[in-house]
Structure 1
Amino acid sequence: MSFVGKVLIVVQVVMSLCFMAFAGAVYVTTDNWKTKHEQSEEQLGSMKTSIANVEASLSQARDERAAVESTLKQEADKWKLAFQNEEAQVKDLTGRLNNINNGLERQTAIAQSAQTEAGNREKESEVLRKQNIDLQKRIDEVSAELNTERDKSFNSEVALRQLEERFGKLQVQTAFLEKIVRKYDLPTDPAIVEGLENPPPKLDGLVEQVEKGKTNRTRYVVISVGQDDGLRVGHELEVLGARQQKTIYLGAVKVISVEADKAVCEVVAPSKLGDIEVGDNVTTKL
């Protein structure tokens, strides 16, 4: 064998070893990327669940607060009206009692004057005495009614104070929940909350438009599926594309605006394997 042949054989062996090392490195890199992607998906799912739970608790607390505030307001209005009615009745009974006292004083004066008259006035005095007894009974009845109305008025005031205390506690609780929402920057838009609570349906679409960012990589895309297909703000889709006759993963996009037949998405997880282009596929089936 000539010297040139030996050199070619050595070169061929070295190139084979290099190719095997390169293939091993590609395999390890692909396997590590898949593991990290699955871990990211699990963490994202956990975060979505936590956000959904917090949003559900906040929504429930707001509904309970609205219901309790409405009930407390209705009860407060009812008690205030009852208190006003009772107060009017007390004033009316007081006036009637004064009139009865005035009448009693007049009748007493008449009776005292009649006693100084002759014996033929005794029958008239007896009649007046009976009238006085009846008036006294009526005074006692009116006094009892007045005491009852005063008790009712006192009970109404106590109930009103209790309602006001409950309302104050609810206001403090509501302020605390709103502070938590602001601190953790939780979304309050019903459309965003709906997208976080309800997973997207299984669907496929195409990238129709792309908009590049400062790094000359795609930052926003317009896709061919929208609200009529079940998409909501907050849903995420995966992007796949054909590069050199191979289908590769190009990242994940999140819906930020949705119309009937299309949606605008932001790239939230770009891929190092390639950039998103018009005509690439989007799907929720991965």
Structure 2
Amino acid sequence: MNLLGKSFSVLILLLSVVFMVLALAVNASHRNWRDMVLADDGLKAQIEAYERTNDQLREARARTQADLDREKAARRTALAALQTQLDQLESQLRESESTVQQLQAKNTELAQLDRSRAEELEKLTAETTLLRSQIRKEQQDRDTLFAETLKLTDDMNELRGIVQLQQDRNDQLLTQVTRYKEVVDAAGLNINDPLDGAPPERNGSVLVINRPRKLVEVSIGYDDGLREGHFLEVTRGGRYVTRLRVRETEPDRSVAEILNDYSEGTIQEGDRVDTTIE
């Protein structure tokens, strides 16, 4: 065997050793991907758990939105009823005032007519017997007008009583509204706050984070409708991060506690804060 043949033999031996090592390495690193997916804590179980959590969150959001819609409808209905009642009372008051003015004008006219007829009657008294029939007729006309005047006076007095009753009722309503406002102001309530205690739709941002105490300071506060115990949702770029519970409020900012049970990420300064998430 010459030198070339020996060289090929050695090369073939080296390549055989290399291929054997590669085969052993491939066999050692082989994984059963089907078992990894179908295992109890495998990828399929993790995906199903995430889907269940997502469904629960959707149901919770739907219930919250339904409660909010019902509360808005109830508030609109109550306000519409009060406004309708107020409009009716104002309309009745205007009609009564117009009727009283008309009756007063008519009474003035009748009074003037009565005085004119009385003057004519005094003149006719001095005339001859031929004119007595006419005088008697004038007297009858005067009596008729006087009766009408009395009737109109009675009607006017009755309408004045109705106007007075309406005015008294209006004063009572104004007193009640004033009292309600005093009670609301004394209780520190805001008529624009939802009746179920939920905060209005507001948004702000995270200002300061105290990680050792699990507290954050946000840019919305008491003037925005926040109260102690309200919940806030934190997002970043449209992605849910965590939930906060308000502990202290100031007019333009609040201090809230980080709820780790709802955390899906690490909260950062500048994250968006919403009272509700649509």
TM-score (norm 2): 0.51
Matched, 1:81 2:101: yes
Matched, 1:129 2:129: yes
Q: What are the Cα deviations for residues 174-197 of structure 1, in whole angstroms up to 9, with x where unaligned?
A: 73797499399774349x89xx9x
Q: Are the aligned partners of 2:206 and 2:272 in contact in 1 as well (CA < 8 Å)?
A: no
Q: Cα–Cα, structure 1 residues 155 and 86, in superposed 2: closer, same or farther, change >3 Å?
A: same
Q: What are the Cα deviations for residues 110-157 of structure 1, in whole angstroms up to 9, with x where unaligned?
A: xxxxxxxxxxxxxxxxxx233221122122123212322332232233
Deviation at 1:43, TM superposition (A): 6.3
Q: Cα–Cα, structure 1 residues 104 and 150, in superposed 2: closer, same or farther, change >3 Å?
A: same
Q: Cα–Cα, structure 1 residues 208 and 47, in superposed 2: closer, same or farther, change >3 Å?
A: closer
Structure 1 unaligned spans of 5+: 1-19, 22-29, 108-127, 223-231, 255-263
Deviation at 1:217, TM superposition (A): 1.8
Q: Are the aligned partners of 1:210 and 1:218 in contact in 2 as well (CA < 8 Å)?
A: yes
Deviation at 1:56, TM superposition (A): 1.4
2:241 to 231, 245, 249: 249
Read off the aligned partner of 2:259 and give its amino acid letter: S
1:102 to 106, 122, 128: 122
CA distance in 2, matches of 1:62, 1:211: 45
**Identical aligned pairs, as a percentage?**
9
1:239 to 225, 234, 243: 234
Q: Which residue of 1 aligns with 2:259?
A: 271
Paired residues, what number?
Answer: 215
Q: Are the aligned partners of 2:235 and 2:273 in contact in 1 as well (CA < 8 Å)?
A: yes
Structure 2 unaligned spans of 5+: 1-39, 42-49, 247-251
Read off the aligned partner of 1:143 and give its amino acid letter: D
CA distance in 2, matches of 1:268, 1:37: 22
CA distance in 1, matches of 2:253, 2:266: 15
Read off the aligned partner of 1:151 and give its amino acid letter: K
- SS of equivalent to 2:109: helix
Deviation at 1:88, TM superposition (A): 1.8
Read off the aligned partner of 1:278 and give its amino acid letter: E
Q: Which residue of 1 aligns with 2:47?
A: none
Q: Matches of residues 1-286 of structure 1 in structure 2 within 5 Å?
A: 41=61, 44-45=64-65, 47-107=67-127, 128-166=128-166, 168-169=168-169, 172=172, 175=176, 179=180, 182=184, 187-189=190-192, 210-211=207-208, 217-221=215-219, 238-241=233-236, 249-251=241-243, 270-272=258-260, 273=263, 276-280=267-271
Read off the aligned partner of 1:280 and give its amino acid letter: D
Q: Cα–Cα, structure 1 residues 157 and 176, in superposed 2: closer, same or farther, change >3 Å?
A: same
Q: Are the aligned partners of 1:241 and 1:281 in contact in 2 as well (CA < 8 Å)?
A: yes
- SS of equivalent to 2:242: strand
Q: Cα–Cα, structure 1 residues 281 and 208, in superposed 2: closer, same or farther, change >3 Å?
A: closer
Q: Cα–Cα, structure 1 residues 160 and 72, in superposed 2: closer, same or farther, change >3 Å?
A: farther
CA distance in 2, matches of 1:92, 1:212: 86
Q: Are the aligned partners of 2:234 and 2:244 in contact in 1 as well (CA < 8 Å)?
A: yes
- SS of equivalent to 1:277: coil
- SS of equivalent to 2:126: helix
Q: What are the Cα deviations for residues 4-34 of structure 1, in whole angstroms up to 9, with x where unaligned?
A: xxxxxxxxxxxxxxxx99xxxxxxxx99998
Q: Cα–Cα, structure 1 residues 147 and 86, in superposed 2: closer, same or farther, change >3 Å?
A: same
Q: Which is further off, 74-83 or 266-275?
A: 266-275
| Aligned-residue RMSD, C-alpha | 5.6
Q: What are the Cα deviations for residues 172-229 of structure 1, in whole angstroms up to 9, with x where unaligned?
A: 5673797499399774349x89xx9x989xxxx9x7652469x66224247xxxxxxx
Q: What are the Cα deviations for residues 230-284 of structure 1, in whole angstroms up to 9, with x where unaligned?
A: xx989x9842359xxxx65312699xxxxxxxxx886889532366423535687
Q: Are the aligned partners of 1:239 and 1:252 in contact in 2 as well (CA < 8 Å)?
A: yes
CA distance in 2, matches of 1:94, 1:54: 60
